[in-house]
């Protein structure tokens, strides 16, 4: 589905991503994990041609379904981005323009990538919103600031899934949400992935999420890939010191579990 080989990204001759290679298979949930500044988000933005003008791809290739995305025109890439490849970002409020209704922005996406009539676009948008557990007709006519964070992120997933893309790039999609809402969002994304058999590139710093949702994981540090493999292998038998460091930094679910009293200790307490 997606093959990145030797990708290098520089800022004023300073390499930020250094010769990385990874592959995402069809129907795979591939996690890219590492600390902030490891280059995982820059790598994902390069796929859709979304890097800022101050950054330059100076080496490598990004093949998506056999096509090198680094060699296609901007107009061709726009047709792929949104229809074949979609993004879900951590800034859920930034996913929608606040002065346009949610429905208007769904309609813009559908007008760009389909030949559907207005009534058909409306019906498809409402159905997509309802698919992620929202009141389709109500949310369609609302603005993003009128919705909760969880609702906006659900709408973002609906927008990202509406054209049944082959690849979804989810960049820290739950960072700004509370833990309960975050869990429901990731469960929803997993359900949508299974329905369409799309691939997911999941950018995260949380190895607990890697273990729970992913089929494969790539660990990045300082712009380089340091370890790759199945989560069960990488997280239980890490080979690289940086991976071991990340695992050791995972906080326990219960920081200070209660001590179990022995007969001797109980006697001391009395």
Pinpoint the residues of the chain covered by CATH 3.40.50.300: 1-84+167-251
Please report the pLDDT score of residue 182 as a whole number: 82
Please report the pLDDT score of residue 254 as a whole number: 57
Please report the pLDDT score of residue 168 as a whole number: 93
Q: Take residue 136 and report the two structure tokens written for it.
A: 């389709």
Average pLDDT, the chain: 88
Please report the pLDDT score of residue 266 as a whole number: 46
Closest CA to 144 of 92, 91, 98, 89: 98
Q: Take residue 229 and report the two structure tokens written for it.
A: 């493999």
Q: So what's the architecture of 1-84+167-251 in CATH?
A: 3-Layer(aba) Sandwich (3.40)
User: Could you give the percent of the chain with pLDDT greater than 90?
Assistant: 60
> Is there a contact between 10 and 137 (Cβ–Cβ < 8 Å)?
no
Q: Take residue 179 and report the two structure tokens written for it.
A: 């833990």
| DSSP secondary structure code for residue 222 in this structure | T
Q: Mean pLDDT across the stretch 181-199? A: 87
Please report the pLDDT score of residue 189 as a whole number: 87
Please report the pLDDT score of residue 196 as a whole number: 87
* pLDDT above 60 (res 156): yes
As a whole number of angstroms, the distance between CA 116 and CA 266 comes to: 74
Question: Which residues face 7 on adjacent strands?
Answer: 20
Residues 6+ apart with CB under 8 A from 149: 92, 93, 176, 177, 181
Please report the pLDDT score of residue 260 as a whole number: 58
> Is there a contact between 70 and 108 (Cβ–Cβ < 8 Å)?
no
Closest CA to 34 of 204, 164, 201, 150: 204
Question: Which residues face 67 on adjacent strands?
Answer: 64
> Is there a contact between 117 and 107 (Cβ–Cβ < 8 Å)?
no
As a whole number of angstroms, the distance between CA 120 and CA 228 comes to: 44
* pLDDT above 70 (res 269): no
250 three-class SS? coil
| DSSP secondary structure code for residue 10 in this structure | E
Higher pLDDT: 81 or 143? It is 143
What is the reported pTM? 0.86
Q: What's the pLDDT tens digit per position in 205-244?
A: 889 899 999 999 999 999 999 999 999 999 999 999 999 9
Question: Which residues face 85 on adjacent strands?
Answer: 81, 167
H/E element holding 205?
none
Q: Take residue 262 and report the two structure tokens written for it.
A: 């022995």
* pLDDT above 90 (res 74): no
Please report the pLDDT score of residue 17 as a whole number: 96
Q: What's the pLDDT tens digit per position in 35-58?
A: 888 999 999 999 999 999 999 999
Please report the pLDDT score of residue 268 as a whole number: 47
* pLDDT above 60 (res 258): no
Higher pLDDT: 192 or 19? It is 19
């Amino acid at each position: 589905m997606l093959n990145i080989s030797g990708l290098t990204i520089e800022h004023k001759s300073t390499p930020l991503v250094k010769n990385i290679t990874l592959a995402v298979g069809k129907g795979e949930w591939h996690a890219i994990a590492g600390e902030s500044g490891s280059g995982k988000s820059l790598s994902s933005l390069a796929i859709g041609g979304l890097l800022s003008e101050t950054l330059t791809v100076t080496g490598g290739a990004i093949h998506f379904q056999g096509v090198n995305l680094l060699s296609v025109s901007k107009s061709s890439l726009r047709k792929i981005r949104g229809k074949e490849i979609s993004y879900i970002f951590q800034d859920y409020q930034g996913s929608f323009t606040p002065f346009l209704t949610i429905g208007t922005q769904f309609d813009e996406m559908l007008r760009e990538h389909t030949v559907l009539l207005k009534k058909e676009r409306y019906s498809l948008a409402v159905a997509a919103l309802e698919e992620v557990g929202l009141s389709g007709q109500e949310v369609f006519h609302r603005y993003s600031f009128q919705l909760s964070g969880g609702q906006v992120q659900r709408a973002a997933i609906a927008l990202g899934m509406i054209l049944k893309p082959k690849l979804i790039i989810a960049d820290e999609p739950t960072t700004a949400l509370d833990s309960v809402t975050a869990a429901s969002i990731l469960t929803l994304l997993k359900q949508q992935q299974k329905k369409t058999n799309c691939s997911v590139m999941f950018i995260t710093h949380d190895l607990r999420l890697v273990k729970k949702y992913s089929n494969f994981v790539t660990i990045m540090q300082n712009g380089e890939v340091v370890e790759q493999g199945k989560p069960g292998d990488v997280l239980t038998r890490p080979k690289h010191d940086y991976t071991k460091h990340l695992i050791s930094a995972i906080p326990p679910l219960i920081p200070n579990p209660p001590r179990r009293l022995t007969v001797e200790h109980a006697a001391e307490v009395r």
